[in-house]
Amino acid sequence: MKSIKLSIVALFIASASFAQVKEVKTETAKAVQAPVATVTPAPTPKQSVIKWDKEIHDFGDIEKGKPVTYEFSFTNTTNETVLITNVKPACGCTAANYTKTPIKPGEKGMVAATFNAASPGGFQKTVTILTKEGAVDASKTVSFKGKVIDTAAPVTTDKKTDIRS
């Protein structure tokens, strides 16, 4: 009888130990299992609905070494206040200035783009304007183009040969 009691006690202890080990393994597995992170991409700004007077400007021929500026202007045609939050020229050869105060409905704002004409040849550049139109983030891209002329370079002309028969 004593051996049966010892067997029952041993079985009870073994069962309790097994249950504790199982609980520790389950808790460890839960602790190791990391929550799945959800990556939410940044929302893409919507197309701006404000009315631009002109979205593309052609400077035509400009002189090398003389920066030129064009002021893109717009009217706030929304029912909300508009704020220009950022202006991004496409390259380092373009600088931008813009209206920094909120533009109320019906008011005008501007983005001035200054191009440093350092290299001869044709060019086409863009400026991306990010706005907050009420609660909506929006963007608009305007552009300008032209041709840089090097006035210091010698002008070459085609000489026609006069051949008389």
Tell me the sheet residues that pair with 74.
52, 109
**Please, which residues have CB within 8 angstroms of residue 157's CB and are 6 or more apart in sequence?**
none
- The string of pLDDT tens digits covering residues 132-159 is 988 889 999 999 999 999 987 665 555 5
Q: How far apart are CA 96 and CA 99, in angstroms?
A: 10
Strand bridging mode 136-149 / 56-63: parallel
pTM, rounded to two decimals: 0.64
Q: Which two tokens stand for residue 21?
A: 């080990």
Provide, for the chain, the percentages of residues in helix, strand and coil under a 3-state DSSP scheme, each rounded to the nearest 5: 20, 40, 40
User: Is-contact 130 87, C-beta < 8 A?
Assistant: yes
Residue of 50 and 19 predicted with greater confidence: 50
- The string of pLDDT tens digits covering residues 26-85 is 555 555 555 555 665 656 667 677 899 999 999 999 999 999 999 999 999 988 999 999
Q: How far apart are CA 109 and CA 130, in angstroms?
A: 13
Q: How far apart are CA 150 and CA 79, in angstroms?
A: 47
Positive or negative, the Cα torsion across 41, 47, 49, 54?
Answer: positive
